[in-house]
Chains A and B, each alone.
Chain A
Amino acid sequence: MEQSSIITIQELIKRFPVGKGEFTALNGINLTFNTGEFVGIVGPSGSGKTTLLNIIGSLDTPSEGKAIVMGQSTGDLTTKSAAKLRKKYLGFIFQTYNLLPVYTVYENVEFPLLLLKMSSGERRKAVLDALEWLGMTDKIKSRPAQLSGGECQRVAIARAMVKKPEIVLADEPTANLDAANSHNILKMMLKLNEELKTTFIFATHDDKVIKYLKRKITLEDGKVVQDEFITK
């Protein structure tokens, strides 16, 4: 199948004010991501992985250069347009799951669909499908506090996947999980990537994740030092 580019990053620079000076988190990044990729951005702490993910996710804006996601330059978007982009095309998975604590599993997964104003019937079907993919149908009425870390992350994946987004951005998704849970989660994401052709971009320095990647981009001090496609 021919792959098309859904993310293009051109000469991206991101600086943060630190005291009276500035810290350059990303320095001249040029990357292209195609549909259906399973990519890991790896590197030590402070190398700029999360910053790059935030810019791709239109949660942050570049200081210079461009990040074009689904044909839209995130730096030029209004807050409303950026929200629309995230709502329609992007799914997020966080290291600390970020589930809404007062909602049940069902309600957490349903949340992105409420924002998309889907009908209740469509929502129900999509939520149950997503929970079935992740094997969480028996925990529908549980609240996050009643779940284990692995289960929470599975709910977070279901929430990210329920609207079948084009891109899933996962920031250290296995950092809080043990080895068994990490492998399970990664296998599930890989399966979803292969079945739904969703592009997965990870920020990670976890070796367990790296084993599953089809492409590994290594960042150091805000620069791409290696970009390799892994054939298995």
Chain B
Amino acid sequence: MIAFKLAFRNLVGAGLRTWLNVFVLSFIYILIIWQYGILDGWNHQANKDMKAWEVGNGQYWQENYDPYDFFTLEESHAKIPEVLQKASSEGVVTPILISQASVYPDGRIQSMLLKGINPDQKVIAVPSAELNVESEAMPAGSPTAGRTGHEIPVVIGRRMAKSCKLKVGDVTTIRWRDINGTFDAAEVKVAKVFNCNVPNVDAGQMYIPIEKLQEMMQAPDEATMFIIGKDFEMNETVSGWEYKDYDFLMTEMNEMMKMKKVGGSFLYVILLLLAMLAIFDTQVLSIFRRQKEIGTYIAMGMTRGQVVSLFTVEGAMHAILAVILGAIYGIPFLLWQLKIGYTMPAGSDDFGLAIAETIFPVYGLGLIITTVLLVLIITTIVSYMPARKISKMKPTDALKGKIQ
């Protein structure tokens, strides 16, 4: 306890030198907690959004389906099994039929995925109900005047709308190939442009009623995959279909978040190194400048070990004072961020990751404790290293300030 009391007195007495080090350390605390809070918040939000929009509580994939190989799409559809058909009619799973297609906005060609979805599904957040609109009669004077059902209603995401320059009410041509290899084309009308943070649901994709797509592909009652809702549990295996659980479907996202965290760590590692260098320098300088003081401590009855402890605690106490200083300005800042969130820079939604426009940080107790302990331990080690020199000092030389 004496070491703490004396170290505190020495640090406070040293004035500006102490407070500069303490401020840099406190800044590092806040930066680490904030940065990791944002990444955790992003992770939390991305998980929530991906669950709501894309992966649900798991999926059944037709055995040939490989989302990373578009060439498999021609073969990755099959008749909907009875058990999944039943679950689908109960609304606890929803089938998705996927086909490669092209869209011709303003005469340009663009590849995309055509996804057939049940307009009445409630399993994922895609606003498929918008697909329930009746096709309007073609205007008089057109070659198909008076006919209805000419334009297929589609919903698209913001990214798709942006890349194709489409908006609600626009009509464009799509082309696809059915299961027999025959190309066909039709006109689609954008019924809804939805806002979604998950690029996999949005970019390069068009949602149309599944029955319509089955008809277009000549694949009645077929699907490529099923998305499972929260109230569905099935223990039996379905022949020709592979179950993919939530964790598997989130693997890629979680790996990417880990990479982001590692990448983000570089900045604070550099800052931490700078702070440690400052503390190390302060300690080396202290031991050199305060030789007489060290000699006096020993003359008054402190052991060399106690003096080493005193100097180590002095160094480590920078980290403790930094917690206090950091709390004074950091807690209001972190709470303010918690309230207003961090607005991601423009263009960050093109990263290919699920990113909300505003990320709300998540500060876990574990994150705070780990950060404080990490900085405290490193500071203690850095403080102890130069302080060890004291144990080799002769008190008579120290009193004279003769040590080089």
Contact = CB atoms under 8 A, between A and B. Distances in A.
Interface of A: 54, 57, 59-60, 79-80, 83-84, 86-88, 90, 92, 94, 96, 98, 100-103, 107, 111-112, 114-117, 159
B304 A79 contact: yes
B299 interface: yes
Interface in B366-403: 394-396, 399
Interface of B: 2, 5-6, 9-10, 12-14, 292-293, 295-296, 298-304, 306, 394-396, 399
* Interface of chain B, main secondary structure: helix
Contacts of B302: 83, 87, 115
A54 B400 CA distance: 12
B293 A100 contact: yes
Contacts of A101: 13, 293
B9 A115 contact: no
A83 B298 contact: yes
A132 B292 CA distance: 27
Contacts of A103: 9, 13
A60 B396 contact: yes
When A and B form their complex, which 7 residue pairs have the shortest distance between CB atoms, in order from nearest? A102-B13, A87-B301, A98-B296, A83-B303, A86-B301, A92-B299, A59-B395
Nearest to A159: B300
Contacts of A86: 298-301
A69 to B, nearest CB: 14
Contacts of B13: 101-103
Contacts of B292: 96, 98
Given A83-B301, A111-B300, 14 more contacts: A60-B395, A60-B396, A79-B304, A83-B303, A86-B300, A86-B301, A88-B301, A94-B399, A98-B293, A102-B12, A102-B14, A112-B300, A112-B301, A114-B5
A111 B292 CA distance: 16
A115 B1 CA distance: 11
A87 B300 contact: yes
Contacts of B10: 102
Contact of A102 (B2, B9, B394): B9
Given A59-B299, A102-B14, A103-B13, A54 B293 contact: no
A115 B301 CA distance: 7
Nearest to B15: A102
Contacts of B5: 114
Nearest to B292: A98
Contacts, number: 65
27 contacts: A57-B299, A59-B298, A59-B396, A60-B394, A79-B303, A83-B302, A83-B303, A83-B306, A87-B300, A90-B301, A92-B299, A94-B296, A94-B399, A96-B292, A98-B299, A98-B399, A100-B293, A102-B9, A102-B13, A102-B14, A103-B13, A114-B6, A115-B2, A115-B300, A115-B301, A115-B302, A117-B2
Contacts of B295: 98
Contacts of A98: 292-293, 295-296, 299, 399
Contacts of B296: 92, 94, 98, 100
B402 to A, nearest CB: 12
A141 to B, nearest CB: 13
A161 to B, nearest CB: 13
Contacts of B2: 114-115, 117
Nearest to B13: A102
A137 B291 CA distance: 29
A98 B300 CA distance: 11
A84 B298 CA distance: 10
Nearest to B10: A102
A92 B395 CA distance: 13
Contacts of A159: 300
Given A100-B293, A103-B13, A115-B2, A59 B399 contact: yes
B125 to A, nearest CB: 63
B6 to A, nearest CB: 7
Nearest to A111: B300
Contacts of A60: 394-396
Nearest to B14: A102
B292 to A, nearest CB: 6
Contact of A107 (B9, B14, B293, B396): B9
B274 to A, nearest CB: 25
A168 to B, nearest CB: 12
Contacts of A114: 2, 5-6
A63 B14 CA distance: 40
Nearest to B398: A59
Contacts of B12: 102
B303 A80 contact: yes
A100 B10 CA distance: 9
Contacts of A115: 2, 300-302
A79 B296 CA distance: 15
Contacts of A83: 298, 301-303, 306
A90 B306 CA distance: 18
B305 to A, nearest CB: 8
Contacts of B298: 59, 83, 86
A112 B297 CA distance: 9
A224 to B, nearest CB: 21
A88 B301 CA distance: 8
A103 B14 CA distance: 10
B141 to A, nearest CB: 94
A41 B68 CA distance: 93
Contacts of A96: 292
A86 B302 CA distance: 9
Specify which of A57, A107, A111 lies most central, judged by the most chain B CB atoms within 10 Å of its CB. Answer: A111
